[in-house]
Amino acid sequence: MPTNSLTITDNRTGKTYEVPINEDTIRATDLRKIKVDDDDFGMMTYDPAFMNTAACRSAITFIDGDKGILEYRGYPIEQLAEKSTYLETAWLLLHGELPTKDELTVWTNTITYHTFINENLKFVLDSFRYNAHPMGMLIAMISALGTFYPEAKNIFDEDVRNRQIERLIAKMITIAGFGYRHMVGMPYAYPDNELSYPANFLNMMYRTTELKYEPDPALVHALDVLFILHADHEQNCSTSTMRVAGSSHVDPYSSVAAACAALYGPLHGGANEQVIRMLTEIGSKQNIPAFIEKVKKGEGVKLMGFGHRVYKNFDPRATIIKKAAYGVFEVTGMSPLLEIAVELERIALADEYFVKRKLYPNVDFYSGLIYQAMKFPMDMFPVLFAIPRVSGWLAQWCEMLNDPDQKIARPRQIFTGSRKRDYKEIGQR
């Protein structure tokens, strides 16, 4: 009769062990009883990059990478992108259910009225050089923001926690907008409480002398869709960073700053910037085959915006973004790089190298083109990823704090260095 357990025989000792299976998973600590002798520490698993290790139980985001499925709290990403707004989706991620009409009204109002930042934060921003990368400024500003709210360290007080969540989501667009204005040397544009969340962000980015900034509704909608698509993606690099930093019980601003730093890397949130650089470097359709050959030869060149650790069929976000891109180009005019992107995608998807390795366009392949068409400088792309991902990070952070299984994160190592040796005086080395 089948039982929910795994029988392991250690051929070093001939001993057999029974390990319980729950949710198709064994507990790594159950392997510790597998020992050669009493002095043995016990069996560990070696899993660099966490390729096959579940570090938490989570009810927030479901991904089936083989089938190209992405759901937030059970709702397919396609339906959310079509019918929801980013703020509604953020509530869904944080609370587990879609808000009622009243809840949504209060939530939207609360976020809108928390968009102002303390004036002193402007001095922090002013101290950066004009060419500072906006992601570096964002990381520093989020960290600095936390110093204005010392009560934020009371992470087990639900009311305090919720207030910081509201502040972080609200102020992300202000910090991001102000960071851009600092880069281009323009006066900061303050939030306009009559605008929606994405429209308000565009207002803080681009308002100049108009009394009332009114962004094109098609662009506002496209930005909102992009925010929805980027809001969460289960245990990716930055979310794991959020959980690991948060597991020390530090305040959420510090954890979000750490998560932002992880997102900054070119293999994560920095990839859409790299896509534009790559398309620009390719320059024209004729140069695509030579570029593909370079990628295949592994000459240190990757097809940026392709491949994903979990999606091995297609990235559902890429499909939605490709559609949204055409909506944006109707307003902004066609991007000259789009033609190259479409052709590059066509050639790569028919090439055995990419087919065999299950490499498909990911969320970043087309998002950069939209951002570029909306006049965001390339350096701002990872910031545009970070703005909505804050809601996912915070939802995951709350889940972690309420999970009795969680403790401070502390992986093990296989020690490969020298053991005890005597210190050598400098003259003897």
Catalytic positions are 268, 308, 364
Interface with ligand CMC, residue 233, by CB under 6 A: yes
Of 88, 345, 364, 379, the residue at the interface with ligand CMC (CB under 6 A) is 364
Q: Rounded distance, CA 380 to CA 226, Å?
A: 14
355 binds ligand CMC (CB under 6 A): no
Which window, 94-102, 156-164, 360-368, 395-403, contacts ligand CMC (CB under 6 A)? 360-368
Q: Candidates 26-34, 176-184, 251-259, 354-362: pick the segment binding ligand CMC (CB under 6 A).
A: 354-362
Whose Cβ is closer to ligand CMC: residue 299's or residue 425's?
299
What is the distance, to the nearest Å, from the Cα of residue 259 to the centroid of all Cα atoms in its chain? 8
Distance CA 302, CA 120 (A): 42
Q: Tokens 């207002």 map to which residue?
A: 203
**Nearest CB to ligand CMC, comparing residues 30 and 364:** 364
Longest Cα separation, the chain? 81
Pick the piece of the chain touching ligand CMC (CB under 6 A) from 174-182, 267-275, 282-290, 368-376. Answer: 267-275
Taking CB under 6 A as the rule, does residue 73 contact ligand CMC? Answer: no
Nearer to ligand CMC, 195 or 275 (CB): 275
Which of residues 285 and 357 has its CB atom nearest to ligand CMC in the complex?
357
- Tokens (6 digits) for 101: 């009409």
Burial 295-306 (b: 16+ CB within 10 A, else e): beeeeeebbbbb
Instruction: Return the residue of 303, 370, 374, 398 that touches ligand CMC, per CB under 6 A.
Output: 303
Task: Give the Cα separation of 46 and 127 in Å (integer).
Answer: 44
The Cα 122–Cα 103 span in angstroms is 32
Half-sphere exposure of 337 (CA within 13 A, CB side): 18
Output 231 or 359, the one with its CB closest to ligand CMC.
Answer: 359
CB 389 within 8 A of CB 238: yes
Token pair of 412, please?
A: 């093990």
Among 161, 182, 308, 322, binds ligand CMC (CB under 6 A): 308
How many residues line the site for ligand CMC (CB under 6 A)? 19
Residue from 359, 369, 370, 398 binding ligand CMC (CB under 6 A): 359
5-10 vs 75-76, strand pairing mode: unpaired
Q: Does 244 bind ligand CMC (CB under 6 A)?
A: no
Can you tell me the distance from the alpha carbon of 331 to that of 333, in angstroms, rounded to the nearest whole number?
Answer: 6
Binding status of residue 307 toward ligand CMC by CB under 6 A: yes
Among the listed residues 67, 83, 285, 309, the single contact to ligand CMC using CB under 6 A: 309
Distance CA 413, CA 406 (A): 20
Judged by CB under 6 A, does residue 305 bind ligand CMC?
A: yes
Does 363 sit near ligand CMC (CB under 6 A)? yes
CB of residue 70 vs ligand CMC: minimum separation in angstroms?
11
Report if residue 306 touches ligand CMC, rule: CB under 6 A.
yes
- Report the alpha-carbon distance of residue 258 to residue 144 in Å, rounded: 13
Residue nearest to ligand CMC (CB): 307
Measured from the CB of residue 265, what is the shortest distance to ligand CMC in angstroms? 9
DSSP readout, 12-51? TTTEEEEEE-BTTB--GGGGGG--SSTT--------GGGT
Taking the least distance from each CB to ligand CMC, the nearer of 93 and 125 is 93
Tokens 């965001």 belong to 376
Q: Quote the CA–CA distance of 248 and 254 in Å, as a whole number.
A: 11
- Label residue 350 exposed, middle or buried (CB < 10 Å: 0-12, 13-18, 19+): exposed
HSE-up (13 A, CA, CB side) for residue 305: 27
Give the pairing type, strands 15-20 and 5-10: antiparallel
Does 412 sit near ligand CMC (CB under 6 A)? no
Q: Least distance in Å: CB of 342 to ligand CMC?
A: 17
Q: Which is nearer to ligand CMC, 191 or 382 (CB)?
A: 382
Give the range of 16-24, 40-48, 177-185, 304-312 binding ligand CMC by CB under 6 A. 304-312
Residue number, 58 or 112, with CB nearest to ligand CMC: 58
Distances from the Cα of 272 to the Cα of 139, 263, 342, 343, 383, angstroms:
19, 12, 15, 17, 11
Which stretch, 125-133, 170-178, 195-203, 303-311, contacts ligand CMC (CB under 6 A)?
Answer: 303-311
Minimum distance between the CB of residue 254 and ligand CMC, rounded to whole angstroms?
22
Choice from 186, 267, 331, 355 touching ligand CMC (CB under 6 A): 267
User: Is 271 a binder of ligand CMC (CB under 6 A)?
Assistant: yes
Sign, Cα dihedral of 307, 313, 316, 318: positive
- Binding-site ranges for ligand CMC (CB under 6 A): 233, 236, 267-268, 271, 295, 302-309, 357, 359, 362-364
